[in-house]
Chains A and B, each alone.
Chain A
């Protein structure tokens, strides 16, 4: 499958290198040649410097032969233009545009474009994480892999109260011996 990726930012570079690793023929387009340094050294695809909303640039990236075009720049309007250029001028069978404004996404889906909204995906995952915990988000919110090294919780914070309650010393004054038990015994700075 021939894939054109417009915008080689973090998302674009991630998708480009993943698809490349899976053996797809990938061409990445970006205005800024430094963006291509985000691609791994193993990347076997092609890079084209230029604007993904420019017909000539798109043609030199092989849009006429592309099976899929993904518009992943930081701008919704640019993505919408690049996607429609691919679909209507080059007849690319599938186009996906990253449109962070969900309302705009709705409008463009009605015009035959697949859309994806970072706002919706991130938003939904974070709501789920807030209500049901990171584990409920199918890996979208990644749980911590270790407990942080403990420092002294800020005075009056919930962590401090919890710690004092756990020590059965809720009535001990801050700064007393009981509170100092929370400090690392090895004398290193316990902060993160």
Chain B
């Protein structure tokens, strides 16, 4: 694949290195001259030392034939602009943006950025998994956020403890996909009695998520 990487910081540098090692063709656009030289010295003449948001430098990097653009600078505004220009002017098939402020993910998706990656959100998710939280954990969202995959961790306060799954009236459009008990995943059955420590992975519509929360987590 032909990949244009915007931003030669740590993320851009290691991404480029990995992509090259995997046999892909890569060009990096890095505005800062010293940094650009440094990368070129190490990885070869695959660096365009200029503003990655400007069409003519994207053209110089061969954006016209790129399969993927990955904008991975530490500045959300730059990442958005670079992806938008690449899509609008060069019709790049797939634009991936690093999103530093997780709240920007929604906007980026709305603006037709194909993939957003938020390290902030990823780290947050890891921390939330370590610390018991009195809420549903969001694992993934589908259909532009309309469908949510969530995890409910049942503690002693959960109103669902001691009840069989079939007794619980799930909100419409929701289903329990997996039950994790004693670190093992199992298919949930109607006669499964819920215990403290159980984890349920559920699919739900965003609109009915609150009902699911009160069912398994409580108010």
Interface residues of A (CB under 8 A from B): 53-56, 75-78, 80-81, 84-85, 88-89, 101, 103-104, 107-108, 110-111
Contacts and interface: CB of A to CB of B under 8 A. Distances in A.
A110 B88 contact: yes
26 contacts: A53-B76, A53-B77, A55-B101, A56-B103, A76-B53, A76-B81, A77-B77, A77-B78, A80-B80, A81-B76, A81-B77, A81-B104, A84-B107, A84-B111, A89-B107, A101-B54, A103-B54, A103-B55, A104-B81, A104-B85, A107-B55, A107-B84, A107-B85, A107-B88, A110-B88, A111-B88
A104 B107 contact: no
> For chain B, which range describes its interface: under 10, 10 to 19, 20 to 34, or 35 or more residues?
20 to 34
B202 to A, nearest CB: 28
B103 A88 contact: no
A80 B77 contact: yes
Secondary structure class of chain A's binding surface, majority of residues: helix
A53 B100 CA distance: 12
B85 A54 contact: no
B187 interface: no
Nearest to B112: A111
Nearest to B73: A77
B146 interface: no
Contact of A80 (B81, B103, B104, B106): B81
Interface string B133-165: 000000000000000000000000000000000
Contacts of A104: 53-55, 81, 85
Given A53-B101, A55-B101, A107-B89, 11 more contacts: A54-B101, A55-B103, A76-B53, A77-B78, A80-B84, A81-B77, A84-B107, A88-B107, A88-B111, A103-B55, A104-B55
